[in-house]
Structure 1
């Protein structure tokens, strides 16, 4: 395969995911010598330090690689820093996926610093919080930090960044243990942020009070169109608050409340608002306990 790649000068998409090949280094060298793919997928490849160094060289030299997927490579801190160095120098990469790479805080800081310098990246999938970078980066529009356990403090840092950032439109924070305080901080950010259109806070232990805080925010927010609060134990109090917010909100078209134990009272208030709200197009109430009698069984 390496010989073929060396001779091929027109290939534009190269998918090498889930190969676990010792020959990955040779393949990258072939790319270096002969071809310039627009999209390169090296996910699940177990890239070693020397291979990442070669990849760094390739990305800094060739200007046609615009998309790179390094998902599940367990890059760690040192290799994460090399990728960060690429972002500081590369001027064409627009999509980068670093999901599940155990980059840790030091590697995360290097990536944050790189984002402050990078002016081309528009999509970054990274499960490490880079809140500080959001304050300075002016091109990133989508950020995914799923299942990273950033906790309430991480939520507060991101909330502060959202108050200053003016380009991010989509933020995904599924399963991050934000808790009540993190939820409140993000709710407060929604009062100030005017660009975010999609927010996913599913599985974050927000509780009734967190739901109420977010309900208050969306009753006044005029840019958010999609909100996911699934599996947050909002219960009837959170459901009632959200129903009241839907009477006032004029932009939300999608609301996900799956598995929130709203109870019969919360379910009724949500049902009532649907008769009057003409903006909401999608409502997810799956895995919901709407009847208190069923709840006791």
Structure 2
């Protein structure tokens, strides 16, 4: 309760609303009461404001403290009732709701319809002294919610101005509803038509058992028919409940019988398992004794086999020693042959080394001769280059002489031209200018030619000088290369000689070392052969000892065979004893088998009794089913009788109506 009080105060604070003192007082009284569990919230005769209704609706939407809410004579207006009932739509704890005397109309009826449609916990709703039937459309929504509801059992609609139209809506809702048991419609205006609609709805509704219609102007025969239909529903519900109770009782009895039977069978199976276990124990003990005897025999047999194996091992060791001595002799001869072959091979290698050395010396001599020939060729090339140099110098000298001769010719030509000028100066005075001009041209041309030839000759001389210098450099370079190559070849020759000498020394030392190793291996093989011969003598002595030991083992085997014969006799006596014990156990098992057959007979008797009981139960069940079918037949006959009575009542009503019409018609005719 304290939690609801805190929630109420918090919501009032959130909505800026003053909390109702009367509500707080009621909650406080409930919190101080010692009663535990869901309680009742009674706000009857307390005037609730719209804001208070809104807060209470939100608080009650998630509350689980109250199972009953009373809001009778709270003067709720339409908006307040809407807010309050909207919060109750999601409540899952309230079972009883009292809205008596709040003058609820259109909006209130719609809110109640939504409440009935969405709430899943209401069992009883009291709507007495309201005006829910004033607006047909709103009441239709209420009836739709009633038809969709699956939890409501009691509905009080007294004094709600319900007419025959609203009664038809209620009848339509009753055709869909399957849980409502009590409906109170007293002090409304249902009328004849509404009563008939309600009566027709009871043909489909099989759960409604109580309906109050006093003060509704409903004919007595209609009320009687409704009461008969309600009693039929009550009888049907009673019979159904009785049938379900009997079915549950029979099912429980059958389950108990099955349980007893399973217990008996399990006990019998346990006894059989115990007997089988005892038999298996006896069999295991006898098998264990036989196994021990067989183990003793196997031990004797294994000892005999071990002695035979030792004998075979000694024989194999002797054969192995002989084989080893033979192998060592073969190894000695083989090592001697290998030693001889290695000596021959070493001599062949020495001869081959000598031949290789001679071939390498011949090759080096040949290379040296080739180098000498190349040196001679280079010297001839140098001589040829010197000759070419001298020829080029001669050409240069000839060119100088040619240039001097040309200069002399030029001078002679100049003198001749001067003389020709002097001779012809007198003869050709008129052409003096032309001649002078021609002379000058010729002189300039000759000078140019002389200068050109001089320049060309100078260039040729320079080229010859450069060529000579290049040839001299080439000659000096070839001389230096020849000197370096000569020194290089001499060094290579010296290195080859030293290398060949060193290799020969190494080869000789290696051959000497190999000869020394061969001698050592020969000595080792000789020692090994001596050792093997000593081992052969030792093995021969061991062989003689082994032969003597084998003779002793044979004597022991004869003694063991005698012991085995005695043991076999003992074993036969033990086997006879075990056989007698097994015969005794077999007789015991036969007795137990007889007991098992008796138990099986008892088990068959018990099963027969169980089958008889099942047969009796089936017969009783069949009797019950026949009784149920007879009761259903009686119900069907009662339904037929009710229908017949209804038809009679309808016919009587028609006759009464026709009589009234005739009476009214006669009265009007008499007045006229």
TM-score by length of 2: 0.27
- Distance of 1:11 and 1:140 partners within structure 2: 24
- Distance of 2:227 and 2:41 partners within structure 1: 40
Residue 233 of structure 2: aligned partner = 195
Contact 1:75 1:102 in 2 (8 A): yes
More helix as a share of residues: 2
Could you give the per-residue CA deviations for residues 264-288 of structure 1, whole angstroms, max 9, x where no partner exists?
xxxxxxxxxxxxxxxxxxxxxxxxx
Residues 203-282 of structure 1: pairs in structure 2 closer than 5 A? none
3-state SS of 1:14 partner: strand
Residue 169 of structure 1: aligned partner = 209
- Distance of 2:95 and 2:210 partners within structure 1: 20
Cα distance, 1:192–1:48 mapped onto 2, change above 3 Å: closer
Cα distance, 1:36–1:60 mapped onto 2, change above 3 Å: farther
Q: Choose from 79, 83, 92 the match for 1:50.
A: 79
In structure 1, list runs of 5 or more residues that go unmatched. Answer: 198-216, 222-297
Could you give the per-residue CA deviations for residues 145-204 of structure 1, whole angstroms, max 9, x where no partner exists?
01002111111111111222211111111111113xxx333444556551157xxxxxxx
- Distance of 1:195 and 1:185 partners within structure 2: 16
- Distance of 1:2 and 1:57 partners within structure 2: 23
- How far apart are residue 24 of structure 1 and its match? 4.3
Residue 122 of structure 1: aligned partner = 153
- Distance of 2:83 and 2:140 partners within structure 1: 22
- How far apart are residue 11 of structure 1 and its match? 5.9
Cα distance, 1:157–1:83 mapped onto 2, change above 3 Å: same
Residue 267 of structure 2: aligned partner = none
Q: Choose from 126, 142, 165 the match for 1:111.
A: 142
- How far apart are residue 45 of structure 1 and its match? 0.8
Cα distance, 1:29–1:114 mapped onto 2, change above 3 Å: closer
- Distance of 1:86 and 1:4 partners within structure 2: 22
Cα distance, 1:191–1:56 mapped onto 2, change above 3 Å: closer
- Distance of 1:34 and 1:184 partners within structure 2: 47
3-state SS of 2:202 partner: helix
- Distance of 1:40 and 1:159 partners within structure 2: 32
Contact 2:60 2:91 in 1 (8 A): no
Residue 43 of structure 2: aligned partner = 16
- Distance of 1:140 and 1:19 partners within structure 2: 30
Cα distance, 1:118–1:57 mapped onto 2, change above 3 Å: same
- Distance of 2:63 and 2:143 partners within structure 1: 32
Residues 57-206 of structure 1: pairs in structure 2 closer than 5 A? 57-104=86-133, 105-127=136-158, 128=162, 129=167, 130-179=170-219, 183-189=220-226, 194-196=232-234
- Distance of 1:188 and 1:53 partners within structure 2: 38
- How far apart are residue 72 of structure 1 and its match? 0.9
- How far apart are residue 76 of structure 1 and its match? 0.2
More strand as a share of residues: 1
Aligned residues, how many? 197
Residue 256 of structure 1: aligned partner = none
- How far apart are residue 48 of structure 1 and its match? 2.1
Contact 1:119 1:139 in 2 (8 A): yes
- How far apart are residue 107 of structure 1 and its match? 2.8
For CA contacts below 8 A with separation 6 or more, give which structure has more relative contact order: 1
Residue 209 of structure 1: aligned partner = none
In structure 2, list runs of 5 or more residues that go unmatched. Answer: 8-26, 32-36, 236-637, 643-672
- Distance of 1:82 and 1:4 partners within structure 2: 24
Contact 1:5 1:35 in 2 (8 A): no
3-state SS of 2:75 partner: coil
- Distance of 1:16 and 1:162 partners within structure 2: 36
Query: How much is the aligned-residue C-alpha RMSD, in angstroms?
Result: 3.0
- How far apart are residue 137 of structure 1 and its match? 0.8
- Distance of 2:77 and 2:188 partners within structure 1: 23
- Distance of 1:120 and 1:3 partners within structure 2: 28
Which region of structure 1 is more displaced relative to structure 2, 52-61 or 17-26? Answer: 17-26
Which region of structure 1 is more displaced relative to structure 2, 124-133 or 19-28? Answer: 19-28
- How far apart are residue 29 of structure 1 and its match? 4.5
- Distance of 2:152 and 2:228 partners within structure 1: 27
